[in-house]
Copies of this chain bind each other. A is one copy, B any other.
């Protein structure tokens, strides 16, 4: 049995919990009651809340919020795997981030969570032949979240992107499940050639702030990349690497992504 399955099968009703949290927040904070009713309380599913919230953030005077809301609903309805991954990401944030004690916090206020979910839908657009729209929305995510993820990149579930600003992911990168990534991380390419040229990151990995991982290399499962490191070659599973360029510095914790210790 994988960690993911464990994490993603909560023994409670996530949607109802989020609703209750939003109701309590609306009652306690009049300044947010309006936002919470519009964004959460008048809806009847997590899918709709996510689609509404992301369309609030990524619409603009030249991209109508109604059109964007509908395309997001369409993606979530067409591919049931997206909302499943969304839930795993919510649970991951709750579990791994000590500053996160409500499920509604990442949903409503964590930029890294928003950027990941915007990418999940963008990836669906890309796979459904709507490349120009995917480019448009990649650009909006880059402006609003400071996060630039190529729509073709493949992401697992149970991901946490903490703080988020400056996260960059190239076209052929792949992320496994249950990965934790800090802000400023680059999963970049090795040059101007096309083809498979970006990193493949295994399950359970943790990548510290401002680390750069460059080229078509493998970051083994449950390994850890120290903050500020620059990785240009494969990393074995269960290994910590640090430095510029990064070198092995010992065995990693059992579950680096859950430990969230980016020290080197």
Question: Which of A5-13, A81-89, A97-105, A116-124 faces chain B?
Answer: A97-105
Given the interface pairs A29-B133, A42-B33, A62-B38, the reply to whether A164 lies near B142 with Cβ below 8 Å is: yes
Contact of A243 (CB < 8 Å), options: B57, B193, B244: B244
Find out whether the CB atom of A192 lies under 8 angstroms from the CB atom of B97.
Answer: yes
Find out whether the CB atom of A184 lies under 8 angstroms from the CB atom of B163.
Answer: no
Within 8 A of B (CB), among A175-233: 182-184, 186, 188-194, 197, 208-210, 212, 214-215, 226-230, 232
Bin chain A's interface residue count: 35 or more
Find out whether the CB atom of B142 lies under 8 angstroms from the CB atom of A163.
Answer: yes
Residues of B within 8 A of A62 (CB): 34-35, 38-39, 56
Q: Which residue of B lies closest to A230 (CB)?
A: B228
Residues of B within 8 A of A56 (CB): 60-62
Q: Which residue of B lies closest to A24 (CB)?
A: B132
Q: How far is the CB of A73 from chain B (nearest CB, A)?
A: 10
Within 8 A of B (CB), among A36-83: 37-39, 41-42, 52, 55-57, 60-69, 71
Contact of A244 (CB < 8 Å), options: B38, B42, B242: B242
Q: How far is the CA of A228 from the CA of B111 in the complex (A)?
A: 24
Find out whether the CB atom of B261 lies under 8 angstroms from the CB atom of A245.
Answer: no
Residues of B within 8 A of A197 (CB): 98
Q: How far is the CB of A37 from chain B (nearest CB, A)?
A: 4
Find out whether the CB atom of A66 lies under 8 angstroms from the CB atom of B71.
Answer: no
A263 adjacent to chain B (CB < 8 Å): yes
25 cross-chain CB contacts under 8 A: A31-B67, A32-B133, A34-B42, A38-B67, A39-B62, A66-B66, A66-B69, A110-B139, A111-B139, A148-B164, A148-B165, A165-B166, A166-B166, A182-B186, A188-B209, A209-B214, A210-B212, A212-B227, A212-B228, A212-B262, A214-B262, A214-B264, A226-B244, A228-B229, A228-B244
Other A-B pairs, 9, CB within 8 Å; known A192-B259, A228-B229: A28-B132, A35-B63, A98-B171, A166-B166, A166-B183, A192-B258, A212-B227, A212-B228, A244-B264
A-B pairs with lowest CB-CB distance, top 8: A30-B42, A33-B37, A191-B261, A34-B38, A98-B194, A109-B139, A228-B230, A192-B260
